[in-house]
Amino acid sequence: MRASRSRSRSLAYSAFVVHRVSGLLLALFLPLHFLVLSQAIRGQAALDQALRLSDLPAVKFAEWGLVVLLTLHLVGGIRLILIEFGPWKGTRSGWITATVFIAGCTGVLFLYNLVI
């Protein structure tokens, strides 16, 4: 058995995890995104065929997830830029709240535009 290495987590740590995991998932998604769009090189019909994938509910859910992840990463990233380059104002926890809120709004907006 090893001595305890656990340490209780701060809000800023959770913000870091969200930022890193969202970045990683977005990075893994990018080549797939480019692959689908580059079917346009083979003509409109080829792109249409690739886009039909997006009719699947699972794909729609993934699209929604990616939009939310992108927003989380974007707003969380703005917080980090402020921490690293801006005047010192501590953990900027207001920006953590803003990150979750704006990502939530984006998720709702996406669903709205999906169904109208």
* Helix, coil or strand: residue 92: coil
30 or 61: CB nearest another protein: 30
User: Is position 4 an interface residue for another protein (rule: CB under 8 A)?
Assistant: yes
Query: What is the identity of the amino acid at 51?
Result: L
CA-wise closest residue to 109 among 63, 55, 75, 73: 63
Report the residue from 25, 62, 80, 100 that binds another protein according to the rule CB under 8 A. Answer: 80
User: Is position 58 an interface residue for another protein (rule: CB under 8 A)?
Assistant: no
Angle in degrees, 0-180, between the axes of helices 11-37 and 57-85, rounded to the nearest 10:
130
Q: How many residues bind another protein (CB under 8 A)?
A: 54
User: Is position 16 an interface residue for another protein (rule: CB under 8 A)?
Assistant: yes
Let me know: does 9 contact 18? Beta carbons within 8 Å: no
Distance between CA atoms of 70 and 57, rounded to whole angstroms? Answer: 20
Binding site for another protein (CB under 8 A): 1-8, 10, 12-13, 16, 20, 23-24, 27, 30-31, 33-35, 37-41, 44-45, 47-48, 51, 54-55, 63, 67, 70-71, 74, 77-78, 80-81, 83-85, 88, 90-91, 106, 109-110, 113-114, 116
